[in-house]
Structure 1
């Protein structure tokens, strides 16, 4: 995506465009899965030295995978940061418009603002991926980086909690929220944001060799994990009831898949916490429990995808909003389930099945499952490129198109 981005959209901007940067950041992490599970390393994740050694002495297939992973990480990280800075600029200007001050502030659609901390939390993850993959010697100082990373995630988590607190405080004390009008799962976006903070806070639990760091990581990530589960459960019940009473909203129908990335994030959080508990506190928390957990979560994701697909197909959503003439910023919600499913299949295959001897590492069954993850990843990359061309290419009449997009996405 090297074309010029639109500028000064004002009231035509939608906070849901943060999801465009989020999706590119997620794809950056999806390419890191290749290195994480295919490059030999002594720790939980490979660093630059491990990757360089594998590139020098590994077989041709591994060398090719490393080069492609490097290229994919750089390309997706470039798109992520470009859209991140674009969103920061346009978001700040949007907050001064009547579209926000009169139409969104104090309205149920104000929850869309949680897309900003959600994306910034992903940015921290992208930064760590770039550091581990491209910065020599990072492994020697990584223990010093863990506390700094936890502080960064706590700042983002505090930002998300403050926005969510404003929303919940208004809803529960002023009672001006029309729950029946929320005939989608768009209100579950805060659960997505809180879980993203939680999985970032859980990383030191699985990677740090310092018990105190791991303990703080476990405690802090558990808080955001529970907060995400409670928030998501409430919004799931309210959203499903509203959709059954008034039918689903065609424009925000992709929100039916928002549970897919949330489940992947929660699953990775629990895997990281399990590794930390085993390493530092002498408890056997892995084995069948980890395999069962990943199996249940993947099964739940498939069920949610099937449910969402039934609704999206009946609305002809892809024909209208992806390849057709209609535009909605909410269509970027479709990217997150693709990224999440690919990552979850990698974890299920490697951490679940292969690690516990259910299938042979690099055997036929292993590569059959991995091929599914790679196919989903490739399809998601194609979706991102298609949506970026549709939404961000500057051409004649683009400002009017953005106006229609922003209006539609606020439903």
Structure 2
């Protein structure tokens, strides 16, 4: 780098944890290819042995999918952990600065929740890496679920401590400015709690041990309710301020935060539903899943239309994405792309296919799958642009 030239990331903000989060989300999008396009009999997710067996069968198309998916998973998982470690190191230095003190006394204090959000995503990424690259992992997975629950609970404790400090301050001494809350920035804590909740729901959907599955059900329900309450409050407060003061151009990307939030809640609900069916005889049918996922997808599309309309009026892309100016908040736009791609896969496979509306691997199936992949590729392009601008 030439002398005297600096990058935007040298002026640190905890929102840079979203750079790690976004690449973790892209890791998940590649795992969707393996989960929905490759057979994994007797398991809810594909593992190393399933991929080796399919690759050895010799079908060119299957091999190409596996190679592309595994390569994508490895690349974006590397970036996810790289940016997570970079953020953790920079955050410790930044905590000693005056900027940290100013943030702790403002509306922006909830930006600190980007840390547990990114940590929870990285735990999910590590689990994906284990399933795809570690032979024999499924034989010991029942021992790993309690460890995963403990890890998510520790991250959850961190999140609630940060959230408690914020609410304790604003609800006792005040200082929260509704006038500058003209975005959905205050929904970030709900996003973090949802990510922790979906991680806790994994044992509910995958464990063969009723006690472990039941524990995952109960704990993930707690975080689900916390997510709904905090997210609902943030939605009302943000809409009210924006209608009075207009949207803030730098925080306008947060208008899309409910898109990934709904995808996470949708996956959490699917995992809980599977666990209830496996262990407690409360299974839901394909029609029920189709309706639930269609409702979530409909709400996501409405939020996408709202976000697009506001960003176009503000000229956001021309200024902060393709233009010379930079804003760390741009990384919030990665999450909705990831979320729509993942939700489309689930809506198609667990909704449309399971309900019998579309045949697996039919022409219509691949048309909808291609839409999900197109969204994924567009999001990958956005990440590339942002990383070049900021790092």
TM-score higher than 0.5: yes
Structure 1 gaps, min length 5? 1-5, 393-411
Cα distance, 1:9 vs structure 2: 6.9
1:150 alignment counterpart: 149
Distance 2:28 2:312 in 1: 29
The equivalent residue for 1:330 is 329
Aligned to 2:177: 178
* Aligned-pair CA distance for 1:170: 1.1
Partner of 2:91: 91
TM superposition score normalised by structure 1 = 0.92
Shift of 1:61: 1.1
Give CA deviations for 1:137-186 in whole Å, capped at 9, x if unaligned.
00100011001000000000110011011111111111211112100001
Change (3 A) 1:345 1:238: same
3-state DSSP class of the match of 2:172? helix
Which runs of no fewer than 5 residues in structure 2 stay unpaired?
A: 1-5
Closer, same or farther: CA 330–7 of 1 in aligned 2, 3 Å: closer
TM-score for both structures, normalised by structure 2: 0.97
SS at match of 1:173: coil
The answer to whether residue 252 in structure 2 is matched with residue 259 in structure 1 is no
CA distance in 1, matches of 2:246, 2:222: 34
Q: CA deviation at 1:284?
A: 3.0
SS state at 1:174 partner: coil
Secondary structure of the residue that 2:183 maps to in structure 1? coil
Distance change (3 Å), C-alpha of 1:380 and 1:275:
same
Structure-2 change in CA distance of 1:7 and 1:304 (3 Å): closer
Runs of 4+ in 1 over 6 A off after TM superposition: 6-10
CA drift of 1:60 comes to 1.4
**Could you tell me which residue of structure 2 aligns to residue 79 of structure 1?**
79
C-alpha distance in structure 2 between counterparts of 1:22 and 1:111, whole Å:
16
Distance 2:96 2:147 in 1: 33
Contact 2:14 2:112 survives alignment (8 Å): yes
Q: Greater relative contact order (Cα 8 A, min sep 6): structure 1 or 2?
A: 1
Residue 383 of structure 2 corresponds to which residue in structure 1? Answer: 384
RMSD over aligned Cα atoms = 1.4
1:399 maps to what in 2? none
Q: Is this contact kept in 1: 2:9–2:390, CA < 8 A?
A: no
CA separation in 2, counterparts of 1:193 and 1:321?
A: 25
Give the Cα separation in 2 of the matches to 1:16 and 1:174. Answer: 26
Partner of 1:284: 283
Number of aligned positions between the proteins: 386
Task: Write the deviation string for residues 211-251 of structure 1: whole angstroms up to 9, x where unpaired.
Answer: 00110000000000110010000000000000000000011
Deviations 1:102-157 (CA, angstroms, capped at 9, x unpaired): x1112111110000000000000000000000000001000110010000000001
